[in-house]
Amino acid sequence: MFCFCIVTYVSANAYGNEKDSLLQQIDQFPSDDVRHLHAKTMLANDFLLYNLDTTGILLRESNALADMHDHPVERADWLNISAAYNWYRGNRDSAMVNYRNLYQLDHPDIVNRRASAAVNLASLFRMRMEEDSTLYYFSMARILFAEAGDSAGIAHTDYSLASNYYRQNNYHIALDYALRAYEYRHSRLDTFDLIYVHNLLGSIYNNLKDNERTLHHYEKSLYLIGYHPNHPVRSSVYNNLSSFMAWRIGDFEEALRYSQSAIDLARKNENLGNLYVYYNNHGKILSSMGNYQQALDYHQKAKEYYPEDIIDEIAAGVLTSRGDAYMGLGNHIEARRLFQEAIQLATKGKASVRKKEAYHSLFKLDSIEGNYLQALEHLQKVHSIHNEIWEEERTNRISELKIIHETSRIEAENKMLIESNLLKEAVIENQRRFLLASTVAIFLIVLLLFTILWSRRNLKKKNDQLEAMHQQLIENQLRITEQNQELDKQKHDLEELNRTKDKFFSIVAHDLRGPFTALMGYLNILQEDFHTMSEDEKKEMLHSLNKTSNNAYNFTVNLLEWANLQRNRIQVVPRTFSLDRQVEVVISSLDFSIRKKNLDVINKVPSMEIRTDINIINSILTNLINNAVKFTPQGGRIVIEAKKAGNEFIEVCVADNGIGIEPDKQAALFDLGSNYRQEGTDGEPGTGIGLLTTKEFVSLLDGRIEVTSEKNKGSRFCFTFRDQSGDYTD
């Protein structure tokens, strides 16, 4: 929220506004004047920190005005303050929508506001532990700050990127960004923010196992804290020094001294937010020294200060530390329970390092109890997780390897140039010797011939070496090219995933809100006018409620199925069943809608026993037949057919004589990014989620789906799937 506060303050004071002046502007200007919008927005900003109710009223009153005017600065300020209001209210999703709308505005006068919105979006995504989106928006903020020429903003995002890469264990990349932030803060002699940077650099060098630089930066932080005794990070520096002394240097007495300083300072300043971290660290050090009961006492104190939203990774580490203390005291039952709970939390939070620590503690516990087979299984888990961590670190260093390979290539080229010059000099020297030798006696001619033969052999050897170096350079270049292609593919996949996610949220926000808005409207009418309405009106109202709730239910079912598909939660479980009877089951389930439109539904599927997932087939048939019912007018006709399609596949077709689909719209039916939506013949809403789910269900069964349609003449949807019974012959 740091950047938001700066942007709002500057915007308000740029106009020289105070509350009295703002109130005069609101009374003076018409309600559709942009200055009226500005005055209400700035007044909402003034109330933001101490009267959220008034802020909300002012924002709601100016909402329509903000949408009406095409003034990017005023629009950006309104979105900025609305986002902050929603954030303070705890409505983080709404805040994200406001910040995203501000970020997407494109105007040269609001570049700094867009950059600040990107920083706040990154912070919100970081709270949701969505690291990819966090890095994306921090990176975009840095680009926008650079465009605006805002060096302070660039330094702020450099520090944020360094912190984020540090949490992802990408220490080399984190170091690069942290050093950039350090250069700016150091050039401005900004001692307050330099304390943050030195503390982060100490933590990065600690993980890179550079003890000298680690100690230097932590001590530099403490030195600068002398100028700012109440700096918020002071306790954190003491705690980091404690961990460094304990786990890197092995000086547990000194570690306890620093840890106790962190606890005392936090309690003195009533800075209780991280007190549980300091207590747990103190307890962990005591366990390493064998003081298990005292360690457990500190772990119990830490429990009093746990935040309600403690993240799974930290909670898993805390449970493992407590378990170690119980194991040292001989309470193996409680220790095992804590280790297993830590593994569950670490798995949930995808915290591989914490999971590895918990399994290693279980290994030690089973070894103590003599459960050697189980201990061996846990040790194998430790090694497996260690390999996963190593693989993740290897992937994260691809970009660094690219730079290393490029440097190696340049060095190799320089080395080739030096070798080439040496060869030329050698040839010149040999020629000189040849000219001199030609003037001497026959004895010297023999010596000259020997020299020439030796030179040629040496030249061939050096040429072979050069050829080998050249071949190595080619291989390195090929590897770099392959890595670049893989990086490009990952970038494309990530961008596609973000676009799909944004479109999915758009569908949910638009299509799920409509039915529920209608439901609430009908219910309000029933509640307020029930006694004054006629029976026919009540029946009509109940009919509308039933129709709307069914639409909402069908959309929700399709949405949940689609979401499960995206998370790979649906597995194919084949079983043998009769396809023609299953078609009848689906037709019966849709009997109400079919009879309502007086449709003629004909099942032409021959009697055949097939083997595949009956639930997936049921979902596909339900979606396709329900679509045919939706887009077929009163008295229409629907036909379901099936046939063998080769040795392994079955083809099923659902045809209707409904309203049909225009040719240029057919390709969009199975595309989430498309905006194409079509209402049914009785006004039934269409969202497209059902066909998307159907397409992915068909893919799960190794099949494909196609559509042929003609406007006002009907549509024919055909899909294939693999029959696993294996008894078909041509």
| 709 shares a domain with 599 | yes
Pinpoint the alpha helices (H) of 634-718: 663-666, 689-700
The Cα-based distances of 82 to 23, 36, 77, 306 in angstroms read 19, 17, 8, 31
Is 52 domain-assigned?
A: no
Same domain, 585 and 694: yes
* 547 inside domain: no
Sequence-distant (≥ 6) Cβ neighbours of residue 134 within 8 angstroms: 122, 123, 125, 126, 164
In a domain, 427, yes or no: yes
Q: Pick 433 or 193 by higher pLDDT.
A: 193
Residues 491 and 575 reside in one and the same domain? no
Tokens of 680: 């049914």
Domain final residue pick, 480, 499, 518: 499
Q: Is the domain of 479 the same as that of 604?
A: no
Does 712 lie in the same domain as 622? yes
Beta-ladder partners of 603: 640
Gap between the Cα atoms of 195 and 109, Å rounded: 33
Tell me, what's the pLDDT at 673?
59
CA distance 460 to 198: 55
| Structural domains in the chain (count) | 2
CB 59 within 8 A of CB 81: yes
pTM of the model: 0.49
The answer to whether position 442 is within a domain reads: yes
Q: Are 661 and 582 in a shared domain?
A: yes
Please list the residues that pair with 639 across neighbouring strands. 602, 655
**Whole-number pLDDT of residue 669:** 75
pLDDT of residue 643: 93
- Whichever domain contains 687, its CATH number is 3.30.565.10
Is residue 440 a part of any domain in this protein? yes
DSSP character at residue 613 = -
Helix (H) or strand (E) holding 639: strand 637-645
Which tokens belong to 503?
């479109």
Residue 717 shares a structural domain with residue 575: yes
- pLDDT for the residue 112: 87
Question: For residue 424, what are its two tokens?
Answer: 């030329």
The structure tokens listed for 548 are: 């709307």
CA 400 distance to own-chain centroid = 22
Amino acid at 465: Q
Question: Which pLDDT tens digit goes with each residue over 214-271?
Answer: 999 999 998 998 899 888 888 889 999 999 998 889 899 998 999 899 888 888 887 7
Please determine, for residue 417, whether its predicted confidence score (pLDDT) is greater than 80. Answer: no
Residue-wise pLDDT tens digits, 571-623: 888 999 999 999 999 998 888 889 888 999 999 999 999 999 998 998 899 99
Whether residues 588 and 708 share a domain: the answer is: yes
SS3 720: strand
Domain that holds residue 703: 570-722
Single out the residue in 439, 472, 499 at which a domain terminates: 499
Do 439 and 577 lie in one domain? The reply is no
529 falls within a domain: no
The alpha carbon of 232 is separated from its chain's Cα centroid by a whole number of angstroms, namely 29
The beta-strand segments (E) located in 417-494 are: none
- Are 716 and 586 part of one and the same domain? yes
Domain stops at, among 438, 464, 499: 499
Pair (476, 579) in one structural domain: no
Q: What proportion of the chain, given as a percentage, has pLDDT over 70?
A: 77
In a domain, 702, yes or no: yes
Classify residue 285: in a domain, yes or no.
no
Assess whether 716 and 598 both reside in one domain. yes
Structure tokens at 722: 């693999």
Chain centroid offset of residue 549 CA: 34
pLDDT tens readout for residues 79-109 = 887 788 888 888 888 888 888 888 888 888 8
